């Protein structure tokens, strides 16, 4: 067990855990922040996506020992960001979700996309949204990203 000082959604958090523990499980089990989801554990599905220093990152493959002082933002904190809030609102207005399990990760990926590309075309969306959705909400995800982009323009 090792102690780590993390910055999650702007707040300092201290956890004591095995260094190999992925950030996903630190968030879910130590910090009780269950909005970030476990979907595959191999970085394939993106349900665990968080922002690490603003970059969309799969937290299921990220050992807590590798984080250092890089700032972590999760779905619970993304509304504090104007782009984050716009994306969440667009998701609700477009009625994107079905089961909703993958949507935390989808939203985190979409926010990262819109921060680097204010007007993504379909091809950009396909290239950067590598999150699986078994309910198949992809048509509405595209629409919500474009709607958020228009609102932010």
Partner 1 sequence: MNRRAFLRASAAATGGLLVSIYFDLPVQAQAAPQKTFPPDAFVHVRPDGKIVVTVNRCELGQGVATALPMILADEMDADWSAVVAELAPAADVYKDPVYGFQNTGGSATIANSFQQYRELGARTRAMLISAAADRWHVPAGECKTAAGVVRGPAGQTARYSELADDAVRQPVPQKIDLKRPADFRIIGRPIRRIDSRQKCDGSQRFGLDLELPGMLIAVVARPPVFGGRVMQFDDTRARAIAGVRDVFKIPLVNGDAVAIVADRFWAAKQARERLQVQWDLSGVEKADSSDLSKRYGELARTPGNVAVNRGDASVLERIPPDKRIVAEYEFPYLAHTPMEPLNATVRFDGDRAEAWVPSQFPTYDHAAVAEILGLKPEQVAFHIEFAGGGFGRRQAFDSHVPREAAAIAQRVRSAPVKLVWTREDDVQGGYYRPMFVHRVEVGIGDSGAPIAWRHVVVGQSYVIGTPFESYLVKNGVDFDSVTGTADTPYSIPNLHVTAHHPKVNVPPSQWRSIGSTHNAFVMETLIDELATRAKMEPIAYRMKLLKPEARRLRASLALLNEKSGWRRNLARGHAVGIACSEYQGTAVACAADVSIESKRPRIHRVTVAVHCGLPVNPLSIESQFQGGIVFGLTQLMSKGAITLKDGRVEQRNFDGFTPPYIGDAPPIIDVHVVPSDEPPTGCGEPPVPVISPAVVNALTKLTGKRYRTLPITAL
Residue numbers at the binding site for partner 1 (CB under 8 A)? 1, 17-18, 20-22, 25, 28-30, 32-42, 44-45, 47, 74-76, 79, 88, 91-93, 95-104, 107, 122, 125-127, 129-142
Which CB, 7 or 130, lies closer to partner 1?
Answer: 130
- The nearest distance, CB 85 to partner 1, in angstroms, is 10
The helix (H) or strand (E) run that includes residue 6 is strand 2-8
State the minimum distance, in angstroms, from the CB of residue 125 to partner 1: 7
Q: Smallest distance, Å, CB 119 to partner 1? A: 16
CB of 23 to partner 1, least distance (A): 11
In the three-class reduction of DSSP (H, G, I as helix; E, B as strand; rest coil), residue 34 is classed as coil
Least distance (Å) between residue 83 CB and partner 1: 14
Rounded distance, CA 57 to CA 72, Å?
10
Question: Three-class SS of residue 137?
Answer: coil
- Residue 53 or 93 having the CB closest to partner 1: 93
DSSP 69: T
Q: CB-wise, 107 or 114, nearer to partner 1?
A: 107
Nearer of residues 4 and 91 to partner 1, judged by Cβ: 91
Q: Tokens in use for 53?
A: 């220093």
């Amino acid at each position: 067990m090792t102690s780590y000082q993390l910055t999650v959604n702007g707040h300092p958090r201290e956890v004591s855990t095995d260094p190999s523990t992925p950030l996903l499980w630190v968030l879910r089990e130590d910090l009780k922040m269950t909005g970030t989801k476990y979907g595959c554990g191999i970085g394939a599905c993106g349900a665990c996506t968080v922002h690490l220093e603003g970059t969309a990152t799969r937290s299921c493959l990220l050992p807590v020992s590798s984080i250092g002082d890089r700032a972590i933002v999760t779905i619970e904190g993304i509304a504090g960001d104007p782009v984050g809030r716009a994306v969440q609102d667009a998701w609700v207005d477009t009625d994107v979700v079905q089961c909703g399990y993958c949507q935390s990760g989808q939203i985190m990926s979409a926010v990262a996309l819109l921060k680097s590309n204010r007007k993504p075309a379909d091809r950009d969306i396909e290239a950067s949204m590598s999150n699986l959705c078994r309910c198949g909400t992809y048509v509405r995800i595209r629409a919500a990203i474009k709607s958020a982009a228009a609102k932010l323009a």
